[in-house]
Amino acid sequence: MTKLTELTLCEARDGLVNKQFSAQELTQAHIEKIEETRALNAYITETPDIALKMAQASDEKLAKKEELRPLEGLPIGIKDLFCTKDIRTTAASKILDDYKPQYESTVTQNLWDAGAVLLGKLNLDEFAMGSSNLTSAYGPVISPWKIEGNDRQFVPGGSSGGSVAAVAAGSALATTGTDTGGSIRQPAAFAGIVGLKPTYGRCSRYGIVAFASSLDQAGPLTKDVRDAALMLKIMASHDPKDATSATIPVPDFEKLLSGNISKLKIGIPKEYRVEGLNPEIDALWAQGIEWLKSAGAEIQEISLPHTKYALPTYYILAPAEASSNLARYDGVRFGLRVPGQTLDELYELTRAEGFGKEVKRRIMIGTYVLSAGYYDAYYLKAQKIRRLIQQDFEEAFKKVDVILTPTTPTAAFAIGEEPKDPVTMYMNDVLTVPANLAGIPGLSVPASFTKEGLPLGLQILGPAFEEGRILNVGYVLEQAAQFKEKALKLRTST
């Protein structure tokens, strides 16, 4: 039998129902894998006792065959940005160290209500600000991927770095992530797994530590496309506690994986052939087009004229919203406090001590672009360009059903070899950010490798609330790419 930690979420589900193993055995196997792979630093907080208790409750339900819930007994990890009641939630920041939420996020509540088992809370870039997981106050996450005969350690991408490393290393069947500018899709591509950013509003933001509220969206990180369909079905819901959460019904995404994309129109945006696009990725993109063509899809070149402005627009809007959202960390209501003589001094010292360098930089940018005299020139201007970017996609989706692009301009970089200039680091998200600005769903599917053996991903974008459609296209790509089969031959696991 395949090792329990090598099963997909759906395979594990079937194995539990068919009594091939118990939820406690499945959970125990993952707890051991977490211990074995601790050097990756994927988890900030491990919750083995809670996991075993939840698994035991699932085994009781499984024995009685009563009301079998969709994720009954399946052990998963949660990005440490989701509030979990009475369980430490850090956002990978010193300023929230030892914060114990008094309530549960809606997404995680949905998962527990469906029977899932909590293995622990996963590492990330501080407040989800980063594309490398190097900004975490709890240290960087190390990718399970290595180059053969080479000691260099690679970043898993970010911000959901712990979430992707855990899935890639087999220390969780699936994990949750959040994506504000690419934080699910970029690390999924770096780690050779599937990452889905749903439509803005598909998953409730209630109880997710806020970064940029108009862009943040939760989604799954999984071993394959079918698992992503299963996870999203459970994570998504309308939630009266989040005014921006959508009232549109949530379909059974798994049932939409027909594998049939005959006559589907695939758009290829010429503006995504950005400067700095790795030639191997360009070749993979061409290969992806061929795969979809042979599956019967029709390929069409399209134009998204404002693409090059998406990233600078994002770096006004996201810091602006962040500077406002992070105003709550004041040393008074929760988290770290550094004493001061006056209340202002207490604020200034607490925030100086509690926030890391990148977070401070973004708060400063956000504060500046919102400050008197600059609001129109920066913030309002960016909101208008955001409209133009959204309209680009609206026009494109009148002509095509989905859009195919690479997920990232390069493969993962080694720790210590990351760009030192903030703007160069920001370029990691150049292909993922437009979907956040437009609020549309995007899926990253692992599709190939660099010649050194590092994973590369393809991204599929669809119109709002068409996650089912992009998952189905991803399913076709997955079958054509045979990534897992190729990875088996390549992979040097930790």
Tokens of 460: 């599929």
Of 33 and 205, which CB lies nearer to another protein in the complex structure? 205
Applying CB under 8 A, the span of 31-39, 58-66, 113-121, 329-337 interacting with another protein comes to 329-337
Tokens of 265: 């129109």
Of 21 and 368, which CB lies nearer to another protein in the complex structure? 368
Residue 493 CB contacts under 8 Å (≥ 6 apart), including other chains? 144, 169, 170
Tokens of 151: 């000691």
Place of tokens 């992070």: 326
Tokens of 423: 């703007």
Of 77 and 439, which CB lies nearer to another protein in the complex structure? 439
Applying CB under 8 A, the span of 50-58, 116-124, 183-191, 326-334 interacting with another protein comes to 326-334
Of 390 and 450, which CB lies nearer to another protein in the complex structure? 390
Q: For residue 219, list its beta bridge partners.
A: 177
* Minimum CB distance to another protein, residue 83 (Å): 11
Of 84 and 143, which CB lies nearer to another protein in the complex structure? 84
* Minimum CB distance to another protein, residue 237 (Å): 14
Q: Is 380 in the site for another protein (CB under 8 A)?
A: yes
Residue 421 CB contacts under 8 Å (≥ 6 apart), including other chains? none
Per CB under 8 A, contacts with another protein among 433-462 are 438-439
* Minimum CB distance to another protein, residue 464 (Å): 8
Helix 9-17 / helix 225-235 crossing angle, nearest 10 deg:
80
Residue pair 393/131 in contact by the 8 Å Cβ criterion: no
Per CB under 8 A, contacts with another protein among 243-302 are 243-247
Per CB under 8 A, contacts with another protein among 303-322 are 306, 308-309, 312-313, 315-316
Beta strand 265-269 with 402-406 is: parallel
Q: Is 330 in the site for another protein (CB under 8 A)?
A: yes
Per CB under 8 A, contacts with another protein among 161-220 are 200-201, 213-214
Q: Is 107 in the site for another protein (CB under 8 A)?
A: no
* Minimum CB distance to another protein, residue 201 (Å): 5
Q: Is 430 in the site for another protein (CB under 8 A)?
A: no
**H-helix or E-strand containing 219?**
strand 218-222
Residue 163's Cβ-side half-sphere holds a number of Cα atoms within 13 Å equal to 35
Can you say whether residue 9 is alpha, beta or left, with left for phi > 0 and alpha for psi between -120 and 50 degrees? alpha
**H-helix or E-strand containing 230?**
helix 225-235
Q: Count of CB atoms within 10 A of residue 329's CB?
A: 24
Q: How many residues does the chain have?
A: 494
How many chain residues touch another protein (CB under 8 A)? 72
* Minimum CB distance to another protein, residue 386 (Å): 4
Contacting residue, 422, 479, 482, 492, with another protein by CB under 8 A: 422
Q: To 5 degrees, how large is the angle CA 125–CA 126–CA 129?
A: 65
* H helical segments located in 355-414: 357-370, 381-399
Of 191 and 440, which CB lies nearer to another protein in the complex structure? 440
Of 69 and 381, which CB lies nearer to another protein in the complex structure? 381
Residue pair 206/239 in contact by the 8 Å Cβ criterion: yes
Exactly one of 132, 143, 160, 183 is catalytic; which is it?
A: 183
* Minimum CB distance to another protein, residue 244 (Å): 4
* Minimum CB distance to another protein, residue 160 (Å): 21
Residue pair 442/432 in contact by the 8 Å Cβ criterion: yes
Applying CB under 8 A, the span of 7-15, 17-25, 237-245, 480-488 interacting with another protein comes to 237-245
Per CB under 8 A, contacts with another protein among 7-66 are none
Residue pair 164/193 in contact by the 8 Å Cβ criterion: yes
Q: Is 332 in the site for another protein (CB under 8 A)?
A: yes
Q: Is 360 in the site for another protein (CB under 8 A)?
A: yes
Per CB under 8 A, contacts with another protein among 333-352 are 333-337, 339-349, 351-352
Exactly one of 105, 159, 323, 448 is catalytic; which is it?
A: 159
**Residue 79 is a catalytic residue:** yes
Alpha-carbon distance of 154 to 141, in angstroms, equals 9
Catalytic residue list? 79, 159, 183
